[in-house]
Structure 1
Amino acid sequence: MNSLFLINILMALVWAAITGSFSLPNLLFGFALSALALSLIREQVGTVGYMSRVRRVVSLFLLFLYELVLSSISVAKLVLSPRMKLNPAFVAYPLRVDKDFEITLLANLITLTPGTLSVDVSPDRRILYIHAINVTDEEALKRDIAEGFEMKIMEAFR
């Protein structure tokens, strides 16, 4: 998988060299174009798994964007309300992911989402401590994380 990703990057750099522009949009276009080329010959070079992983990573990114918009609106409503009724809480979230990369990615996605902050991971790496500014139902928050970010991370990187 890693070698195919490097081939994809190399092909994008070759594209940029041929076109004479190393701008970010041109590099991204070259990356997409080389991914398309690899998908056309996927059976010959063994990129079937690579292409499905790309789709799953894009799905995770789109979920993050969706959650970012929803939580931004929710936090804006809280801040702009005259009485600002907050229910802050620390939540001990039981982790299903176990690799350092997956735990770090989950913690960062939670922190980047407005209204939540990853505070710490237990020494045995089984509990992620999260602070949220408005928790009405702790179990619903845990379920949202488990069925959202954590599930998408496991789909994309396992």
Structure 2
Amino acid sequence: MIKNFLMNLLLSAIWVALTGSLYYTNFLFGFMLGFFILWIMNRNEADQRYFYRVPKIISFAFYFLYEIIKANVQVAFDVITPKYFFKPGIVKYPMSARTDFEINLLSTMISLTPGTLIVDISDDKKTIYIHVMYLTDPETFVRQTQTGLERRLLAILR
């Protein structure tokens, strides 16, 4: 998998060198072109993880960017309006993540979203306590986080 990623970066750099324009859009186009070339060349190999993970990573990046923008707009709207709309609360969140790396990455992604903060992780590493600034329904928050952020993150890592 690392070999394919490094080869894809090399193909992107070759594309940028051949076209002569050093722009990030040109590099991204070269990356997509290199990904397609590598996919064609490695269709019959047994290890196809790279070709499944890259689209999942791109999808996760767009999803997480959307969630950050949505939370920032909500916080900004609350700041500029005279009435406060926040309803803070602490949620007990049962995790599907098991390894320390998965738990650490999940808690970091949750904390990066404005309006949420990790308070504590239980000793048995099965639950996270999250402070949520805009908590209307704890069950809805848990369900949205499980089906959205955690499911997509674990699909990349596993």
TM-score class, shorter-chain normalisation, is 0.7 to 0.9
Describe the shift of the 1:12–1:88 C-alpha distance in structure 2 as closer, same or farther (beyond 3 A): same
Shift in Å, 1:55: 0.9
Shift in Å, 1:78: 2.1
For 2:78 and 2:21, locate their aligned partners in 1 and report how far apart those are by CA, in whole Å. Answer: 45
Q: Tell me, yes or no, if structure 1 residue 63 matches structure 2 residue 72.
A: no
| RMSD across aligned positions (CA) | 2.4
For 1:126 and 1:79, locate their aligned partners in 2 and report how far apart those are by CA, in whole Å. Answer: 34
> Is residue 4–residue 47 contact of structure 1 (8 Å, CA) maintained in 2?
no
Give the fraction of aligned pairs with identical amino acids, expressed as a percent.
38
1:119 is aligned with what amino acid?
V
For 1:136 and 1:147, locate their aligned partners in 2 and report how far apart those are by CA, in whole Å. Answer: 18
TM-score normalised to the size of structure 2?
Answer: 0.82
Instruction: Please list, as runs of the form range in 1=range in 2, the aligned pairs for 1:3-18 lying within 5 A after superposition.
Output: 3-16=3-16
Equivalenced residues, count:
158
> Is residue 38–residue 47 contact of structure 1 (8 Å, CA) maintained in 2?
no
Q: Which moved more, 1:7-16 or 1:71-80?
A: 7-16
Aligned to 1:154: 154
Unaligned runs of 5+ in 1: none
Instruction: Please list, as runs of the form range in 1=range in 2, the aligned pairs for 1:1-150 lying within 5 A after superposition.
Output: 1-16=1-16, 24-46=24-46, 48-150=48-150
1:93 is aligned with what amino acid?
Y
Shift in Å, 1:3: 2.5
2:87 is aligned with what amino acid?
N
Name the SS of the counterpart of 2:131 in structure 1: strand
> Is residue 67–residue 113 contact of structure 1 (8 Å, CA) maintained in 2?
yes
> Is residue 16–residue 26 contact of structure 1 (8 Å, CA) maintained in 2?
yes
Describe the shift of the 1:157–1:93 C-alpha distance in structure 2 as closer, same or farther (beyond 3 A): same
TM-score normalised to the size of structure 1?
Answer: 0.82
For 1:68 and 1:12, locate their aligned partners in 2 and report how far apart those are by CA, in whole Å. Answer: 29
Q: Which moved more, 1:100-109 or 1:124-133?
A: 100-109
Shift in Å, 1:136: 1.3
Name the SS of the counterpart of 1:43 in structure 2: coil
